[in-house]
Amino acid sequence: MAFDEDNAQRIRTFLQHKEADFFEKKMFGGLVFMVDNKMCCGTRLDKQIGENLLLCRIGDNAYLNSLERDDVIPMSSSERPIKNYIFVTENGWQRNKDLEFWLQLCLDFNPIAKASKKK
């Protein structure tokens, strides 16, 4: 599991400031933040491109709009994009203002996001 602890702390601080009910889970080769028992956001170091990525789970409109940006990569599985999940490259979230923008999109979508089925 590779992720930058400083970036993880930035996410923690934002979620704490928003008084979100969250916990952390190691997934997707990094650290994911679960809000209300649903995947919300996360961070990981992508070894192929050598960058820290921000994982965001966002709503339909935000997802479609974000795909037009140069600093966004759709999350994919078997070469198919996974709807509502994106990675933001370092350039798109290193400033606090930019990080807050992405994380707020994640929190806005969280109440309507479906939780994973319990096994």
- Name the E strands within 7-117: 22-27, 30-35, 38-46, 51-57, 72-77, 80-88
pLDDT in tens, 64-117: 999 999 999 999 887 788 899 999 999 999 999 999 999 999 999 999 998 877
The pLDDT of residue 81 is 84
Its pTM stands at 0.92
Fold exhibited by the domain 5-109? Aspartate Aminotransferase, domain 1 (3.90.1150)
* CA–CA gap between residue 119 and residue 59 (Å, rounded): 25
Interhelix angle 5-17/96-109, nearest 10 degrees: 60
* CA–CA gap between residue 78 and residue 22 (Å, rounded): 29
Domain residue limits, the chain: 5-109
pLDDT in tens, 50-62: 899 999 999 999 9
Confidence of residue 31 (pLDDT cuts 50, 70, 90): very high
Other Cβ atoms closer than 10 A to 54:
27
